[in-house]
Amino acid sequence: MAMLEPEENRKAPEHTFVLFGATGDLAKRKLYPAIYSLYRRNLFADRWLVLGVARRPHTDESFQAEIRKSIEMYGRMTITDEEDWANFVLRFHYQSVHVDSDDDFTAMNNTIISLEQKESLPGNRVFYLAMAPEFFGEAALRLKKCGLLAGSGFKRLIIEKPFGHDHASAQQLNDQLRQVFEEDQIYRIDHYLGKEMVQNIEVLRFANSIFEPIWDNRSIANVQITSSETVGVEDRAGYYEQSGALRDMVQNHILQMVMMIAMEPPSRLKTEAIRDEKVKVLRSLRRYKPEEVLEHVVHAQYSQGVNGGKEVPGYTDEPGVDKSSQTETFIAAELFIDNFRWAGVPFYIRTGKRMDTKATEIVIQFKDMPEHLYFNHNGGLGPNLLVIRVNPVEGMYLQLNAKRPGSDGSVIPVAMEFSQESDVTPEAYERLLHDTMRGDSTFFTRWDEVSLAWKFVDPLAETFRNQTDSMESYAAGSSGPLSADELLKKRGFQWWPVFGQEMPALAMEHKFARTVEGHRS
């Protein structure tokens, strides 16, 4: 695995990076800043180049000017040395290409061959399809047809989600890609898997002997995964109307975090061994019959409310959204992993837009101390928690019970906390691009993961379609519908609060104390 290797062995090899969608928002906001950061960190070989590909016309010079604007606006690292910047940006070239034109692809191949000969590059090529998903298959087929995959050197393909909109469409797309690329050449990118604290789950679990003996149903009461946003649908109505929270978040990001938490220790820290164990989690994930879905899954849509002190519209009043839309903006679910380690432990997930707090956090709630013993005479002692904070503040903390200073045995929750300095942490795309260039697919999704995730999600979506009266609502700026709380209450649990930007050590006593009181009752 790349993250365990010495820094001097981690340089990306000489290669040509071909970026489809080079004038798009993803390229400007994420990809160019990521490439620049990798360059500044000296993680490229001496020879490499980028060919930007899109429909609109550009010269190399105008394209390079756009890249500079991107770095200045969104980059993690600022431009401080003009000579060094010139050395970086002169590696970027541009070609106008229409995805349905054989002639354009043939011309692109000729351009790449010419550039590679000029720079003495060995023919290693990475193709990134940062474009509309409906063009993935067509673009891949033309890459082969027009000779871009010929010659020596590795050939790799990166594709963005969504990978299909259900299992059937995902299967069709995969069949198209497999006509051109082998499975180990396809890198299905999920930027959540590039986040520092998601990758840290693996280290937390398998580099600390204190956790393995208690990482099961004998010690853990439940697991909670929250990914909430304060923003609404914004300018993504066209996409979001077709996806909703279930396809946009649960099918990929949320289930990936479930797998990372629940997987068995791999036989070795190698890519396929790790991904094999993740797939076993999805195979063990309990699938609900249509009549069971609404007992375990809540779907809702935000209505008008107050967010950040401002009145905001409901989902159906957002620009581009159908007034009668049945698209969910919130999902909460109770999941079960039916294997020996996790039998009986509920995994609670929730994700939504226009929530009260922007946060992605994972809470491992350990079982309560026995009642009538020691400090738990009245059954009111709060549980221990391990909290992994993914976003916006990165870190983790362990909630313990301790004596309040100066009291006669009064017990309060305290946090042993580690906080990551996010301003010096590589961005998710920075890690994932680097991994692709080096051929490390550990933190990318394999086809069987994608297939099993769709097989779990599709019956839920079908139930939502067939029972439109089951859609609930929640006020913008709230923590979601009350029925999401009922999922936990029926088993004696409740959602633990997320902190967002607030640091737990500063907020623990007053915020968690209220929650512990609720837990006691």
Enzyme catalytic residues:
253
Helical pair 32-40 and 428-438, crossing angle rounded to 10 deg = 70
Give CA–CA dist 44/509, Å, rounded.
47
Which residue type, as a one-letter code, is found at position 139? A
Q: Which helix (H) or strand (E) holds 477?
A: none
Asked if the bond preceding 162 is cis, omega within 30° of 0, the reply is yes
Give CA–CA dist 16/47, Å, rounded.
9
Question: Nearest-CA neighbor of 348 among 328, 364, 327?
Answer: 364
Give CA–CA dist 30/470, Å, rounded.
38
Tokens of 12: 């990306």
Tokens 């010659």: give the residue.
Answer: 151
Which residue type, as a one-letter code, is found at position 512? F
Q: At 382, phi and psi to the nearest 5?
A: -70, 155
Which DSSP state fits 352? E
Strands 220-228 and 359-366: antiparallel
Give CA–CA dist 303/514, Å, rounded.
27
Q: Which residues contact 351 (CB under 8 A, 6 or more apart)?
A: 226, 227, 228, 245, 249, 250, 253, 254, 330, 331
Which DSSP state fits 163? -
Q: What is the DSSP string of 414-444?
A: EEEEEEE-GGGSPPHHHHHHHHHHHT--TTS
Beta strands in 31-160 (DSSP E): 48-54, 92-96, 125-129, 155-160
Q: What's the longest Cα–Cα distance across the chain?
A: 82
Give CA–CA dist 14/500, Å, rounded.
40
Q: At 79, phi and psi to the nearest 5?
A: -80, 120
| Alpha helices for 153-252 (secondary structure H) | 167-178, 196-206, 237-245
CA 53 to chain centroid: 26
Q: At 147, phi and psi to the nearest 5?
A: 90, 5
Give CA–CA dist 256/456, Å, rounded.
13
